[in-house]
């Protein structure tokens, strides 16, 4: 599997449902029935992950919204997006 980088543009996989409850975004795969919970900035990152923005651009948006450095957010996003890609919840838009 390809590793996600700062220049990657990720989008949601098809057949993934999103539900929000009490500040948590829950993603459910229709094919496998697995779910994945995202809290706080993870949920916001999911919203911004639309296939048009790079990971770096998403990090810049989140740095403006939260009190954290863009560099720290970017490294956290790379880890998150690699997890989401591994779980077949997101894919790189090529």
Identify the structural domains of the chain with CATH numbers, from first to last.
10-88 (1.10.10.1150)
Residue 35 near residue 88 (C-beta atoms within 8 A): no
Model pTM above 0.95: no
The answer for 63, left when phi > 0, alpha when psi is -120 to 50, beta otherwise, is alpha
Show pLDDT as tens, one digit a residue, over the chain (94 residues).
679 999 999 999 999 999 998 889 999 999 888 899 999 899 999 999 999 999 999 999 999 999 899 999 999 999 999 999 999 999 998 7
């Amino acid at each position: 599997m390809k590793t996600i980088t700062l220049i990657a543009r990720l989008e949601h996989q098809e057949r993934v449902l999103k539900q929000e409850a009490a500040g948590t975004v829950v993603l459910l795969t229709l094919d496998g029935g697995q779910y994945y919970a995202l809290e706080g900035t993870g949920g916001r990152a999911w919203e911004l992950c639309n296939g048009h923005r790079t990971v770096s651009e998403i990090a810049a948006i989140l740095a403006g919204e939260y009190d954290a450095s863009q560099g720290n957010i970017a490294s956290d996003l790379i880890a998150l997006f690699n997890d989401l890609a591994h779980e077949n919840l997101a894919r790189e838009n090529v």
